[in-house]
A and B are shown apart, each in its own frame.
Chain A
Amino acid sequence: MKFLSLVIGNLKRKKLRTVLTVLSAFIAFLLFGLLCALKEGLLAGVNIADADRLVVRNKITLIQPLPVNYKNRIATIPGVDAVAPLTWFGGIYQDPKNFFATIPVDPETFLDVYREYPISAETKSEWLKTRNGAIVGEALMKKFGWKVGDIIPLTSPIWGQPEGESAWQFKIVGTYDTTKKGGDTSSMYFRWDYFDEGKVEQKGLIGWLTLRVKDKDQATAVAKAIDAEFANSPYETVTEGEGAFASSFAQQVGDIGTIVAGVVGAVFFTILLVAGNTMSQSVRERTEEIGVLKAMGFNNGLILGLVLAESCAIALAGGLIGLAMAAVISAANPFATVLPSFNLPDRDLIRGIIFALVLGLVAGAIPAIQAMRLQIATALRRN
């Protein structure tokens, strides 16, 4: 630590160069942080999925419906704890750009299966009493400035509007928040019985079902049993884990992981070149000084350490500021309409800091070894 002043002194020697290199590192890590948040946003569903939840959908495709009585039939299969039917409503609030998820559910089973959305007892009883009641996520409430008790009109291009009316009217009976980090609170859930009565076509049909198994090690067996129950019927099913279900959507967008890794790789390589170059220049300029230090008694290991400390300091300075800025930007979420969840997970932050250290070490390695190997007499002679 007593040599810290030496390291800092060296860095201050050509302030502009140090600042520019730190800025390059800053940009690299800002990009890294933003890309990690993007990947997280696109894979959000996968990460918050529960290991003990399964999703049952029509075997042909997700957009084909299932009969509502499947809920009762699945509930009788051994190993199933609770079953909740859900449907995609696709409601529009005023303008298609204001898009948010709207899903008709059966309140009791929904809250039983999705235990991460605790709502108060009064909200629940109010919901059971109000036929057109809906619960709205905290983030969504804030976005539009709604209050409990407001009537929200929605139109549905998929299902049309109720007979003789121009829009569906839902009354907000309460809000829900999530106990999971990165969970979604930007959706609206309302009652399926009100929806089924009002819709003009496809009565008695739901979209898909989510269920909780009693024992997560039995999940695969339960999934097989469910699919066997409905095999060779007009509505065959495919049951998979919630994580697999969510990841199949992300996979459809593309191999996000590889693309992100590719771009990050290109960025880091570039920064490595820049930082490495700076360190070499700086060492070359100080040949005489390093010679003096060695003559004074600094041993080779110490010289190596000093140079490495310098390059790590630059990399870490840029890295920490870049990651911090990325965290701030992702918290503000500029992509809200397309990606409801966009945050920088802690493990990527830690990974970023480790990368910064490694970058500093690699960039400084060659110059440091060169400095270490300098012969004192040769170094002092150079000017």
Chain B
Amino acid sequence: MNWFTQILSISIFNLRAIPERKGSALSAAFGIAGVVLVLTAVLAIAEGFKKSVTATGAPDVAVVLRSGSDSEMNSGLSRDETRVISDAPGIARGKRGPLTSAELFVIIDLPKRSTGTSANVPLRGVGENAYDVRGNIVLREGRFFEAGKNELIVGTGAARAFAGLEVGKSIKIGPNTWQVVGLFTADGGIAESEIWTDASVLQPAYNRGDTFQSVYAKLNSPGSFNEFKDALSLNPQLKTKVERLNEFYAAQTTMVSEFISKIGVTIASLMACGALFGALNTMYGAVSARTREISTLRALGFGSGPVIISVLAESVVLALIGGVLGAGIAWLAFDGYQASTLNWATFSQVTFAFAVTPQLLVQAILWSIVLGLLGGIFPAIRAARLPIAAALRET
């Protein structure tokens, strides 16, 4: 019998024997399923969070803040400064002039649907060109707000996460009452966690005089960014900081994404160790239960190589079953699950959906194969090294 056939026949023999050891086989498989489930779920949180914040950072949109500020909340630009910025080269032009939107960013308190306690929700005052600048705002229900009125449009993420934001409802912020007139989506991006209104109505409501906090500008092309940035830094009237939108978003979320990833990987690694011990236990048990069978095979002439590979094959098959089970449950239960959390950079809520991406699923299956291999290698070597005569005698 050649080498390959030996492996096949022993492996099939082993695999057929699994139902006899249902208990330990199941425990190893479930152990690995558990690891894969937790790992996938936690990494899906990190992926979903990153996706919601960076997905719509278009490369041809730039955001301008006051120099020295690390977020819109800390920035401040006067109306004159926003005019000077709008006149800079590199900006695309629309029917009404340069495509820029001078914006305000504040926070309001609303109760979160899931916990009932209040949370910080971003409220953004935008300019009339905001939709053309962003390019991906789509109205889903109701209508856009009218300039000059106390009207709001709400991102679908925010509407899902917070109570009281349906079209037609009104909310009271300080002394003013605002009417929700529409719901919008933004390709799953961060704007969906926000509430928008006219900047000129928001300014007096928050005693901001005639100041803004940021200017969003649509550039002629991604390449015009440098021209735009240089023009602003050389201008003595301005002390500003210019970034591409996707880089700006990425910087805003690093702290939270890193925190979640770090915790996720720690938990998953620890669980993987635990599952590894479970798998090792099972496979050692399998080998010792079949000592006589294995030595009989060896006595018959099967090489030690095929024995090792067959034990490994068994271990990997069990691990794969567990891995597929865990990944499957993670995908069914968690993909698209809506959640929201606090983005420390903006001190307000960001809504996102758990994203169980194909890469994550592949990663999960790979983890389970690795665990299967690691869990099988030492028992396999022990099986191959059994002294045949002594083992045949063992009960």
Contact = CB atoms under 8 A, between A and B. Distances in A.
Contacts of B280: 20
Interface stretch (B25-33, B127-135, B356-364): B25-33
A267 B284 contact: no
Contacts of A63: 73, 106-107, 120, 347
Nearest to A270: B34
B368 interface: no
Interface residues of B, number: 56
A59 B174 contact: yes
A157 B284 contact: no
A369 interface: no
Contacts of A59: 174
A192 to B, nearest CB: 20
Majority secondary structure, B binding face: helix
A254 B271 CA distance: 23
A92 to B, nearest CB: 9
Contacts of A24: 274, 277-278, 281
B277 A338 contact: no
Interface string B7-24: 000000000000000011
A359 interface: no
A157 B70 CA distance: 7
Interface in B109-145: 109, 112, 114-115, 117-120
Given A38-B263, A60-B173, A157-B74, A278 B281 contact: yes
B342 A273 contact: no
A338 B259 CA distance: 8
Given A248-B117, A273-B26, A383-B395, A60 B174 contact: yes
Contact of A251 (B24, B69, B112): B112
A59 B34 CA distance: 45
A307 B114 CA distance: 45
Contact of B281 (A21, A96, A247): A21
Interface string A137-158: 0000000000000000001011
B301 interface: no
B271 A267 contact: yes
Interface in A39-89: 59-64
B349 A274 contact: no
Given A254-B339, A270-B34, A277 B69 contact: no
A298 interface: no
Contacts of A38: 263
Contacts of A35: 267
A90 B74 CA distance: 10
Contacts of A255: 114-115
B285 interface: yes
Contacts of B266: 34
Contacts of B112: 251-252
A14 B106 CA distance: 65
Interface string A259-287: 00001001101110110111011000000
Interface residue tally of chain A, by bracket? Answer: 35 or more
B78 interface: no
Given A252-B341, A255-B115, A273 B284 contact: no
A165 to B, nearest CB: 14
Given A61-B106, A248-B117, A263-B267, A27 B174 contact: no
B42 to A, nearest CB: 8
A17 interface: yes
B277 A274 contact: yes
Most chain B beta-carbon neighbours within 10 Å: one of A90, A234, A266, A276: A266
A372 interface: no
Given A59-B174, A270-B30, A252 B281 contact: no
A368 to B, nearest CB: 15
Given A60-B109, A157-B69, A270-B275, A254 B37 contact: no
B299 interface: no
Interface in B172-196: 173-175
Given A61-B108, A158-B74, A281-B24, A30 B281 contact: no
B341 A280 contact: no
B274 A267 contact: yes
Given A273-B27, A274-B27, A277-B27, A253 B285 contact: no
A286 to B, nearest CB: 12
Contact of A270 (B23, B120, B173, B274): B274
Contacts of B174: 59-60, 236
B68 interface: yes
Interface string B55-79: 0000000000000111001100000
Interface in A171-212: none
Contact of B271 (A27, A247, A248, A281): A27
A266 B37 CA distance: 9
A248 B263 CA distance: 22
Nearest to B115: A251
Contact of B274 (A28, A280, A335): A28
A31 interface: yes
A263 B107 contact: no
B153 interface: no
Given A21-B281, A273-B27, A30 B119 contact: no
Contact of A252 (B68, B70, B120, B271): B120
A143 B31 CA distance: 41
Interface of B: 23-24, 26-27, 30-31, 34-35, 37-38, 68-70, 73-74, 106-109, 112, 114-115, 117-120, 173-175, 206, 255, 259, 262-263, 266-267, 270-271, 273-275, 277-278, 280-282, 284-285, 288, 339-342, 347, 349, 395
Given A24-B281, A252-B342, A267-B38, 15 more contacts: A20-B277, A20-B281, A27-B274, A60-B108, A62-B107, A63-B106, A157-B74, A247-B117, A252-B117, A253-B341, A253-B342, A255-B115, A270-B278, A273-B27, A335-B259
27 contacts: A20-B278, A23-B277, A24-B274, A34-B266, A60-B108, A61-B120, A63-B120, A63-B347, A64-B206, A157-B68, A236-B174, A236-B175, A247-B117, A248-B118, A252-B119, A252-B342, A254-B339, A254-B341, A266-B34, A267-B34, A270-B34, A271-B274, A274-B274, A274-B278, A274-B281, A277-B282, A335-B262
Q: Which 4 A-B pairs have the closest CB atoms?
A: A27-B274, A277-B27, A274-B278, A270-B34
Interface of A: 14, 16-17, 20-21, 23-24, 27-28, 30-31, 34-35, 38, 59-64, 90, 96, 155, 157-158, 160, 232, 234, 236, 247-249, 251-255, 263, 266-267, 269-271, 273-274, 276-278, 280-281, 335, 338, 383
